[in-house]
Amino acid sequence: MATENEENGADMQSESEESAYCLARQKLESLLNKNMRIRMTDGRTLVGLFLCTDRDCNVILGSAQEFLKSTDSFSQGEPRVLGLAMIPGHHVVSIEVESESLVNSSQGM
Amino acid sequence: MKSSVEEDDAGWSLGVPEKMRSNANWVDITQDFKAACRELNLGELLHDKLFGLFEAMSAIEMMDPKMDAGMIGNQVNRKVLNFEQAVKEGAIRVRDLSLPELIGIIDTCFCCLITWLEGHSLAQTVFTCLYVHNPELIQDPPLKAFCLGLLKLCDIARDKINKAAVFEEEDFQAMTYGFKMANNVTDLRVTGMLKDVEDDLQRRVKSTRSRQGEDRDPEVELEHQQCLALFSRVKFTRLLLTALISFTKKETSAVSEAQKLMTQAADLLPAIHSTIHHGNQPHNDTTKGDHPIMMGFEPLVNQRLLPPTFPRYAKIMKREEMVEYFSKLIQRIITVCNIISTTNLHGILDFFCEFSEQSPCVLSRSLLQTTFLIDNKKVFGTHLMQDLIKDALRSFVSPPVLSSKCSLYNNPQAKDYIDSFLTHCSRPFCSLIQIHGHNRARQRDKLGHILEEFATLQDEAEKVDAALHSLLLKLEPGRQHLACVGTWVLYHSLRIMILYLLSGFELELYSTHEYYYIYWYLSEFLYAWLMSTLSRADSSQMAEERILEEQQKGRSSKKSKKKKKARPLGKEITMSQAYQNMCAGMYKTMIALDMDGKVRKPQFELDSEQVRYEHRFAPFNSVVTPPPVHYIQFKEMSDLKKYSPPPQSADLYMAASKHFQQAKLILENITSPDAEVNRILKVAKPNIVVMKLLAGGHKKETKALPEFDFSTHKYFPVVKII
C-alpha cells in the first residue's frame, strides 16, 4: 500500500512538472516563425524569424538582419542581411515580438 | 512536401519580409521567454517541424569572432564614416592635397589593388579608400583622375577574369557589392584626364629642374622630386590602364600594342620604388589591425557589406613589396602577349603548360585565356578552332584524308567524316586549354575529368579511321588509312594521363611508399605507350613524305635533294625516352630501398595498398585505350620472382643507376638544351652516384630513411642517403 501511495505522489508531482513543461513548450511553439527582435550584449539588434531555441535560451533566427546600436528607429542606417543566425543565450539581453503576433497566437490557442 | 521545405529553406537565408521595415509594436517578452526555455530538457531543441538540427548547424554564431564579421566593426571605439560624412566633418579633404599626401594615397591604393588581385574582396581592399566611392566629389585633379583610373583598372580586370572563368574562390573574389566602377565615364575620357594631369606635372617637373650654375634651393629640389614621383605614378596608372584596354580590343595588333605599353610601364617602376619615402607613411594603430591608416582610408567602411560568412582578414600588401609585385605582374603579362606568335595547336598547348608552371596570378592567366579565344569564338579573333585542330592533326600524323594529293581529299563523304570529327574536337580542346589556365592545384582534378571526353573522342576517331580506310581501299587500293586520327587523339590522352600522375608529385599528394607504383605506371606503361604512339605518327609522316616525293619525281625529272632533315617529332621522342628512364630509375630505386627496409609503410588497417592504388589511377578507368592496369595485373607484371635468380637490392640499385645514366646520355645529346633538360640532368647526375654507392653496400645497415628532394625538379627527386 505504502509503495502505491508513494507512486501516486510521484505521479502527482511529475504531472504538475509536466503541465509546466507543456505550457512552456506551447508558449514557445506559438512564437515559432514569428518576427522577433533580440538585443545582444554588444548593443546590436537582430530581427528575424524565430526558428529554434533550447534550454540555454540559444536562439536561431531566420532571415536575420543586423541593426547597429540605434534601437528605436530603423531609419538610422541600413541593416545588414545575415540570414540564418544563432545568438548564444548568454548574449541575449532582451527579446521582443510584434504585438500582433502575440494577439494572433493567443487567439489560436 | 519536398518543395515546400525547399522554399522555406530559401526563406530562412534570404528574403526580407516587408513588415520588418514598418514600425511595428514590439512587446518585450524577455522574462517569459527565458523562463519558458528553462523548462525545456537538456539537449532538447524546440523548433518547427520543417527546421531541424541540420539547418541549425548552418547558422552563423553571433559574438564568435571567428564567425561574426559584424563584431569587429562594433568593437572599435571610433566613428566609422563613409565618404560623404567624412567630407562633411572635415575628416578628409577633397581639394588642395599636398604632394606627399597624394603620393601616399596612390601608393596605398596600389597596395590595395594588388591585395585584391591576390584573392581578397574589393570591399576590404580597394574600396577601403573613401575617395574611390565617389570620384565626382573630388576637386583635386590628380586625385580625381587617379581614382577614376583605378576604378577602370578594377573594372576591366574583373571583366577579363570573369570572362576567362579560370578562377576559384581561393583565386579571386568577383563580388562588387554594388560599388560604382566609374561606368558613367568613358575609358577614353579617363585616360585623357590622366594624360592632362601627367602633362601638368611634367611642366612642374621641368620648371623646378636644376639649372646650371644656380644655387639649389633644397625646397625646390624636394618639390622637384615629389612632382617627379607623382608624375611616374600617374603615368604608370595610365599605361597600365591603356594596356588593359588594348586587351579588350579584338585585333591581334592590339596585343602587341599592350606589350609595348607594359614595357614602358615597367620602365617607370624604379622611379616609383625610389620615391616611396616621399609619400605620407601609414602609421600603425593597433585598433585597426594590420590595415594601414591614412587620410582617405577607412578599413571598416564596408564591414557591413561583407557577406554573412566567417570574417576574412585582408592583409594589405606592404609598399616595398608593391613595386616587386608590379614588376612580376608586368613580366607575366608581357609573356602572355607572346602567345600570338604561336600559331599551331601543339605549340599553344605547350605554351599554356609552360606558362602555368610558374604559377601565375589570376589576372595574367585570364588575359592569356581571353587573348587566345576572343569571346569564346575564334582563336586570336581570326582563326576557327576547327582549322587550328585540322592543322595540328595534319602536321602530327599527315593523314591521307587531309593531303591534297590523296583522292579522299575532295571526296564529299570523307570530308563529312573528318569535318564532323574536327567539330567534335573543338570543345574538348578548348576545355583542355582552359584547364591549363586554372591554378595548379585545381588542374589535376579537372584533368582527371576531361579524360572522359577524350575517351569519347578516341572512340569516334577510331570509327572515322575505319570508315576512311574502307573508302580509301576502294579509291586507291594499296594505300592505308589506319590509326591516323586515332593516333593523334591517343597522343593527347596519354599526355593528359602523364600530366595527371606527375602533378601528384608537384602537389605532394603521394606518400613515399606509393612512389614505386606511380613511377612504374609512368615508365612501363604510359611513357612506353607515348613513345610507340609518337613513332607511329613519325612513320605515318614519313609515308606521306615518300608519296609526295614519288609524285614529284614523276612530274619533273629533277632529282629531289636527299637532305637529312630533323624529324619534327624527334625532340619529343627523345624527351619521352629521357623521362621514361628517369621514371624507371626511380621505380627500381624505390623497390630496392623497400627491400632494404628503407621505406616507411603505414599500418594498413582500414585500407590496403590496393585501395590506394585504385584510388590513384581511378580517372584512368574511363579510358579504353590505353586500357587501365588493375592492381592484380600490376602485381603480376612487376613480380620480381619471375626472374631467376630474383634480383637483390644491389642489382636493382645498379639497374637504377644505369637508367639515370641512360637519361643523362640522351639529354646530353640534345643540341640546344632548354631549362627543363638542365633540371633533369641536375637530378640524374647525383642519382647515378648515389645508386652506385648503394649498390656497393654503402650505409646498408643504417636505419635512417632516405630523403627525396624535389627542389631541383618537381617530378623527380634527388635521392639523399643520410
CB contact under 8 A, A96 and B70: no
Q: Which of B29, B35, B74 sits opposite A96 (nearest CB)?
A: B29
Contact A24 B37 (CB under 8 A): yes
DSSP string, B688-702: HHHHHHHHTTTTTT-
Look at the block and give the residue holding cell 561583407.
Answer: B306
For B189, what's the count of Cα atoms within 13 Å in the CB-facing half-sphere? 9
Residue B679 CB: number of other CB atoms within 10 A?
17
Q: List, in order, residues 6 or more apart from B146 with CB less than 8 Å away.
A: B102, B105, B106, B109, B194, B197, B233, B234, B237
- Per-residue cell: B247: 586587351
Range list of H helices, B556-630? 570-595, 609-616
Task: Please give the Cα distance from B471 to B460 (Å, whole number).
Answer: 17
| Chain-chain contact of A32 with B48 (C-beta, under 8 angstroms) | yes
Rounded to the nearest angstrom, the minimum Cα separation between A38 and chain B is 9
Helices (H) and strands (E) in chain A, counts: 2, 5
* Residues of chain A contacting residue B26, judged by C-beta atoms under 8 Å apart: 37, 96-99
Show contacts of B379-384: CB within 8 Å, 24+ apart: B380/B252, B380/B340, B381/B250, B381/B251, B381/B252, B382/B252
Q: State the Cα torsion B21-B22-B23-B29 to the nearest 10°.
A: -70
Could you tell me the three cell numbers for B494? Answer: 596519354
The predicted structure's pLDDT at residue B7: 38
CB B685 within 8 A of CB B664: yes
Distance CA B436, CA B451 (A): 14
Question: How many Å is the maximal CA-CA distance in chain B?
Answer: 110
- From chain B, the residues in CB contact with A51 under 8 A are 12, 47-48, 51, 55-56
How much is the mean pLDDT over chain B? 88
The CA angle B572-B575-B577, to the nearest 5 degrees, is 110
| CA B135 – CA B145 distance, rounded (Å) | 8
Nearest to B353 by CA among B73, B132, B676: B676
pLDDT at B440: 93
Residues 294-323 of B with CB under 8 A from A: 304-305, 308
In A, which residues are within 8 Å of B308 by CB distance?
Answer: 80-83, 85
Q: How many CA atoms lie within 13 A of B338 on its CB side?
A: 12
B196-213: per-residue pLDDT in tens?
999 999 999 999 887 777
Distance, in Å, from the CA atom of B225 to the CA atom of B103, rounded to the nearest integer, reads 11
**DSSP code at position B15:** -
State whether residue B39 sits within 8 Å of chain A by CB. yes
Interior angle at CA B300, CA B296 and CA B305, nearest 5: 115
User: Which distant-in-sequence residues (6+ apart) come within 8 Å of B387 by Cβ?
Assistant: none
What lies within 8 Å, CB to CB, of B648 at 6+ separation is: B595
DSSP-derived 3-state class of residue B373: strand
Closest residue in A to B310 (Cα–Cα): A82
For residues B299 and B123, give the distance between their C-alpha atoms in angstroms, rounded to a whole number: 9
Confidence of residue A72 (pLDDT cuts 50, 70, 90): very low
CB atoms within 10 A of CB B13: 18
Cell of residue B207, nine digits: 620648371
Quote the pLDDT of residue B11.
Answer: 39
Contact (CB<8Å) A63/B29:
no
B60 lies within 8 A of chain A by CB: yes
Bridge partner list, A80: A66
Alpha helices, DSSP H, located in B279-411: 319-337, 345-357, 362-372, 385-397
SS3 of residue B535 by DSSP: helix
pTM of the model: 0.83
Beta bridge partners, A35, equal: A49
d(CA B339, CA B200): 38
Among candidate residues B566, B492, B482, the one with its CA nearest the CA of residue B529: B492
Chain A touched by B33 (CB under 8 Å): yes
Cβ burial of B696 (10 Å; 0-12, 13-18, 19+) is: exposed
Q: Dihedral through CA B530, CA B535, CA B537, CA B543, nearest 10?
A: -170
Contact between B294 and B110 under an 8 Å Cβ cutoff? The reply is no
Asked whether the beta carbons of B695 and B650 are under 8 A apart, the reply is yes
Using a CB-CB cut-off of 8 Å, the residues of chain A touching B48 are 32-33, 51-52
Closest chain B residue by Cα to residue A23: B36
Q: Which of A27, A82, A94 sits opposite B60 (nearest CB)?
A: A82
- A6-54 pLDDT tens trace: 445 455 666 777 788 999 999 999 999 999 999 998 888 999 999 999 9
3-state secondary structure of A51: strand
* Cβ under 8 Å to B: A residues 32-91: 32-33, 35, 37, 40-44, 46-47, 49, 51-57, 60, 62-63, 65-66, 68-69, 73-74, 78, 80-89, 91
What does each C-alpha distance from B383 to B340, B344, B369 come to in angstroms?
Answer: 12, 11, 15
Side-chain half-sphere of B694: how many Cα atoms within 13 Å?
Answer: 32
- Flag if B46 and A66 touch (Cβ within 8 Å): no
Which of chain A's residues have a Cβ under 8 Å away from the Cβ of B39? Answer: 20-21, 23-25
Chain B nearest-CA distance from A8, in A, is 23
**A83 interaction partners in chain B (CB closer than 8 Å):** 12-14, 60, 308
Q: With a cut of 50, list the residues of chain B below it in pLDDT.
A: 1-21, 288, 557-562
Cβ atoms of B504 and B616 within 8 Å: the answer is yes
Q: CA-to-CA distance for B68 and B60, rounded, in angstroms? A: 7
Nearest to B28 among A63, A92, A94 (CB): A94
User: Helix B527-555 to helix B385-397 angle, to the nearest 10 degrees?
Assistant: 80
Kindly determine whether residue A35 and residue B16, on different chains, have CB atoms separated by under 8 Å. Answer: no
Cα–Cα distance measured from residue A68 to residue A82, given in angstroms and rounded to the nearest whole number: 13
